[in-house]
Structure 1
Amino acid sequence: MSAIKPAYLTYAPDYETVFYNSELLRLNLSDELDSGDLDRAFNIITESVAHTLNSDRASIWLYDSDGKFIICKNQYNRDENQHSSGQKLETALYPGYFRLLRSERVVATFDALNDPATKEFKQDYTIPNKVKSLLDVPIRLNGKSIGVVCVEFTKAMRESTEAEKSFAVSISNITAKSIMASERIQALEDLASINYLLERSVESKTKELEEQKQITFHASKMAALGELAGCIAHEINNPLTVILGKAFIINSIARDNKIQDDMFQTSVDSIIQTSERISKIMRGLKFFSRESNQDEMAPAKVSDIIEETLLMCRARFKMHDFEIKVINPNPQIEVKCQSVSISQAILNLLNNSFDAIHDKYTRWIRLEVETTSDFVDIKIIDSGKGIPCDLKEKIFNRFFTTKPVGKGTGLGLPIVSSIMERHNGRILIDADCSNTCFVLRLPRE
């Protein structure tokens, strides 16, 4: 009676199977195959196939997007220890092979030149590449054939064993897994990129809305100022009219009665002139503070624009001991513009000069008008020492300000810049001036 064999002796796998399984285990445990780097993954796979199966070449081919071509993504030549890629074959030229590839799990040919499965490649591939035997396995992903793992023998014809076929099928699955890992990582990167762009878009839109909010707030303040100016002008003009009327009556009585008192006459004239000046200032305030974007472009004298602007701020500068001069503006120089907008631009620059130098020992502002054949330059120069180089670009950005918190909105210069653009002009910094000098350049009428 024979003895019963122990369980561990009932199965004894051959060395070939153990060898192939060991290599498959190594590949499955390789992090590089799941890294998303397909070039590196394909290098590892094709080298493994060629060395493990003792083949002369191993390659991975993938279909293009519409399946009209199959393209070599990686081919390893074992004798030369080199990788190559890029060869392309048109699938319609080899219908029998690709039809068989769709139905079979393995295409193994002992005689690659004459086997019905591969003889279509004789002239285009088999003979030029000296292929004698082939072992091809389709790569399938999500139930769809996406390519081929190709094992080539060029030195002698060779019949593939069942263990080799099984190994090649496993290599096909590992290749599909690497492709899936790459697609997953690419999808995650695309998602991260989309999230980043979305976040940037939200940030940009939020910033844009905040800017629009600030601009709207600024515009509403100007509108409120215009409305307030109108109310003040109305309230002041009524008693001012009475004062002027009485002053004219007194003046008329003095002339009729031939009163020759110089002090009396000077006082009456002073009342009339001061009242007219107040009336002019109120008209200017109301005119200046209104929204002017929709005004028609019309010829205006530059000297008049400057004078109208200084009416709004001369008293403030005088109160703080500022010296302000206008250097000989030619009264004949005209520009086609929205005069209120240009006044607003000049006033913004004058206010910036006031804030910049109000605590300096020397406080002066000078307005100069220069002309060329094409342009009129209105220069606003103050006793400051110029704009630092690192701020010259930033100061025209919305909401950028060098003023303390609560002292500035950062909208002054951007508003001036937009006004000048609307007039086909520019705002410039004169870098050659030893002091701070802004230039409003307008096309000459």
Structure 2
Amino acid sequence: MLDLLLVGQSPGIKNRLVDRLGRDEILFFGPDEGTAGYMDWASQHARKRGAPFWKAFTTGKSQTLGGIPHDTYGMTTRSVHQYVLGIIRQLNLDETACTKLQTGGPDGDLGSNEIKISNDRTTAIVDGSGVLYDPRGINREELMRLALARQMIQHFDTSKLSPEGFRVLVDDFQVTLPNGTLVQDGLSFRNVFHLNKLAAADFFVPCGGRPESIDINNIGLLFDAEGTPRFKYVVEGANLFFTQDARLRLEKAGVHLFKDASANKGGVTSSSLEVLAALSFTDAEFGRLMCKQADGTLPSFYQEYVSDVQKFIEANAAREFECLWNESKRTGKPKSILSDELSIAIVELRKNLESTELWNNIALRRLIMHEALPARLLKELGLDTILERVPLNYLKAIFGAYLASHFVYEYGTDPSQFAFFEFMSKHTAKAEAAN
């Protein structure tokens, strides 16, 4: 990959590869399942190869390299939980009274941070070690202890369960549950517990599990004998836990469901802002302001910047939630379909904005960039320095993405033909007043 990106800069590579585009290419790589440990190595490898963008080549790096670890700061969970809070706000619910089933345990990124950030009555957790269940609500203090230690439920103190509660581990056999049910083997019980009749709650928040765990063939098991879904609200943290057909079946039955593509954008947002900081600073500035110091302390700038990133994630998630909720209410369309339509609308509008002259309106450009960039970064460097240092195509992407997303969030996926004119007129007037 570095060979391709550096083709125009290294004579040795240039002899082997042809640059058909004639412009610098910059790609950034973020962590996903099983790859987080490679982020530090790849960044340092890019540095050894002389890549000018090595600091931004990978994201989610360790703090010693100026990275913003997603799990440490709960970046993905901050987005997911905004959808939970949105449902609670729209339906005037009491979070402390809401029950929840969670797949993905206190040892994982999403699972641990969901426990830390929530204030519900969790009745069941399924993780790699087994199933933990208590219809009265699993002891919150003990869950928090495991989440802080990043330990599986096998370490849960079972003396803190109610008489109706139980823990079945994957290596258990012939276990009799408090209701008299005999569990033949813990592994099989764990693998399909989300389909078990006991797995019923107000909220289902998958934070881990295998893709397509619930599909059109087994979705019927999520309904009781009267045809009522066992969950009222589903917010997908884990990727692809449901198939689209299963989502639509649940929504048709009245479940408020928000799919992964919308709910778990927090990690992507964090990565994009980590890239922005890396592109904005010189190597010396980056080492001083973004990297953990030799004495183990984190620079104050880093801590404030991370706080800005968290605020961005929560604000964007709240905007998208409100848009999906209102559009579903207005059109009657399933939210899982609207989620795709919203993403397509934003991408298409951003692409169309690239061919306009809006970027050349200096007053508008400065207004939008002031609104789109983190306040702490602007304070440290000033807008002019950022515009000078960050590659133009990345700046234009920020500009276009901000306008496109805010327009769609405000006017929906199917706006009137005059809506964008109205939207831009407000921004243009504001830019002229500030100039």
TM-score higher than 0.5 here?
no
Structure with greater proportional strand content: 1
Of structures 1 and 2, the larger Rg is shown by 1
- Larger RCO: 1 or 2 (CA < 8 Å, sep 6+): 2
Please state which band the TM-score falls in when normalised by the shorter chain.
Answer: under 0.3
TM-score by length of 1: 0.21
